């Protein structure tokens, strides 16, 4: 099956710093989503981005489908950004619908 790798696995930032999270995938995809799982376990949709670039406030994401990777940028990080960030993909077969999740990047933002 498709492999989804995220890096780095762990990241500690001081409040105000910027960061880049990476997601590599091993096959052609027609869905790529980024999620934030907060410390209470809730899974929050950040981006639906099978290709191209999107921005939402301090967050932005870019997917280069032809090179099979996606990047999530967090600028001016805040303590509320702490949690685990997951990338998830659906392979491009026209009918497949299950998301395959990466192992996540655990982010801790300190004061």
> Per the structure block, which two tokens stand in for 64?
């280069």
Segment interacting with another protein (CB under 8 A) among 12-20, 44-52, 57-65, 69-77: 44-52
By beta-carbon proximity to another protein, the closer residue of 59 and 90 is: 90
> Per the structure block, which two tokens stand in for 67?
């090179």
> Per the structure block, which two tokens stand in for 44?
């929050």
Judged by CB under 8 A, the residue of 23, 25, 34, 35 near another protein is 35
Q: Are strands 105-110 and 10-14 parallel, antiparallel or unpaired?
A: parallel
Q: Is the dihedral of CA 11, 61, 23, 102 positive or negative?
A: positive
Judged by CB under 8 A, the residue of 18, 42, 51, 78 near another protein is 42
Residues that bind another protein (CB under 8 A): 29-31, 33, 35, 41-43, 45, 48, 50, 86, 88, 90, 92-104
């Amino acid at each position: 099956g498709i492999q989804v790798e995220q890096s780095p696995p762990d990241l500690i930032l001081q409040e105000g710093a910027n960061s880049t999270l990476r997601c590599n995938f091993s096959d052609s995809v027609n869905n790529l989503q980024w999620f934030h799982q907060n410390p209470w376990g809730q899974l929050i949709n950040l981006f639906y981005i099978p290709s191209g670039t999107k921005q939402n406030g301090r967050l932005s994401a870019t997917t280069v489908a032809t090179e099979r990777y996606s990047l999530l940028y967090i600028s001016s990080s805040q303590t509320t950004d702490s949690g685990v960030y997951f990338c998830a993909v659906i392979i491009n077969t026209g009918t497949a619908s299950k998301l395959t999740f990466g192992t996540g990047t655990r982010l801790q933002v300190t004061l």
